[in-house]
Chain A
């Protein structure tokens, strides 16, 4: 067994570009997925039956099917009905649809952890439903589930590797290209695995900083017992 990383190293600009695209996919899917997830979680708590049913069906359908099949459905499905989108746009679209459902389930748990007394108190103060959500439910609920939510987003960053299957030029796709150029698959994929570990560490640090800024009270995160 002889590992030779020198053949792979000249390709570092490609690998860096791939890592950047992976990160871009992850960040855009995080932001949009969080927005969709929050809306969907609000929808699931709606007293209007059809809305909560649709949101529930969306969450269940996405959470019980593999990302790979979802990406193929979006990519080939959209092109077969005449939409021609670039692979990057399809990748972001599929990731957002996917992570939105997971975020919705987590956010719903966060919303449910707010004690009814708090909401009743807010209603007694004459706050509207929107105000109750904005000022009473959203941030404290998010605080409770912040660790779960962020690990979901880190998992999603790793899952962007699946987008290589529809020729999105992110890190894994670049790795496939590099290994076909160098005939050094083991070295290439080991380097790429290390890059993914670093990317996930980077995301964790980023989320930790964001959490420290969002929740300055520094309470112990997680559900209180």
Chain B
């Protein structure tokens, strides 16, 4: 199958794969930072802030990433902000990722048992201290498996950046296909590279989840033992 590709084309694909990794990292880091703020806003005591964050999540989760990409790439220049494909893709992915991570992390924060909050309050910790010293360290453990799982989603979503001309893996495949016209083998190779990027992370996420599931199952087992 690789007989169709010469060495420089292969090199081009590998460069594309590297850009996919870079773009995914940008999206996870920037999206994570915004998403953290969103998650905090979702559990804040201020009703207005909570509602605004909820609306943001609803709207972004209800809009395809592709349309967000088009808004930033074609829409922003018309109001005088010119963006490169990398900036546009990074921005769109950040918006998309922040909404999903915000929701995932809100769930993690809220699934920390309420007595933890109350105990921290009894110790006269301020709200900020309660959040950062007591709740968040526990929430991080709950949030890790779904966050790792979501990063697979992010890697796959970076393929959409090809649409605005950013040369990552999918776009590199299109360009090579345009020159040698072997769509089946080229896209199979692309799919295989994506698989190699994503599969280990999927496995890791599932392993983390199972470990947590085991920890959770223990108290239930004890209940059965006592009956």
Contacts and interface: CB of A to CB of B under 8 A. Distances in A.
B187 A186 contact: no
Contacts of B65: 158, 161
Contacts of A34: none
B187 A72 contact: yes
B66 A179 contact: no
A26 to B, nearest CB: 11
A144 to B, nearest CB: 15
Interface in A68-112: 68-70, 72-73, 76-77, 79-81
Contacts of B163: 165
Interface stretch (B28-36, B41-49, B137-145, B151-159): B151-159
A199 B62 CA distance: 8
A23 to B, nearest CB: 14
A65 B153 CA distance: 9
Interface stretch (A40-48, A118-126, A190-198): A190-198
Interface in B162-204: 162-163, 170, 173-174, 177, 183-184, 187-188, 190-191, 194-195, 198-199, 202
A60 interface: yes
Contacts of A60: 199, 202
B70 A175 contact: yes
Contacts of B84: none
B128 interface: no
A65 B156 contact: yes
B126 interface: no
Nearest to B159: A66
A164 B102 CA distance: 29
B202 A193 contact: no
B113 interface: no
A88 B78 CA distance: 32
Contacts of B170: 66, 68-69
Interface string B10-47: 00000000000000000000000000000000000000
A200 B162 CA distance: 25
B interface bracket (residues with beta carbon within 8 Å of A): 35 or more
A70 B162 contact: no
B75 A189 contact: yes
Given A73-B191, A186-B74, A189-B74, A64 B202 contact: yes
B160 interface: yes
A193 B67 contact: yes
Interface residues of A, number: 43
Interface in A30-71: 60-61, 63-70
Nearest to B219: A225
Contacts of A175: 67, 70
Interface in A202-225: 225
Given A162-B160, A200-B62, A65 B184 contact: no
A75 to B, nearest CB: 8
Contacts of A164: 66
Contacts of A201: 62
B82 interface: no
Contact of B188 (A1, A73, A196): A73
A1 B160 CA distance: 28
B194 A185 contact: no
Contacts of A161: 64-67
Contacts of A176: 70
Interface of A: 1, 60-61, 63-70, 72-73, 76-77, 79-81, 158-162, 164-165, 172, 175-176, 179, 183-186, 189-190, 192-193, 196-197, 199-201, 225
Given A60-B202, A197-B58, 16 more contacts: A64-B152, A64-B202, A65-B156, A69-B170, A72-B174, A73-B183, A159-B64, A160-B64, A162-B160, A175-B70, A179-B74, A185-B71, A186-B74, A186-B75, A190-B71, A197-B63
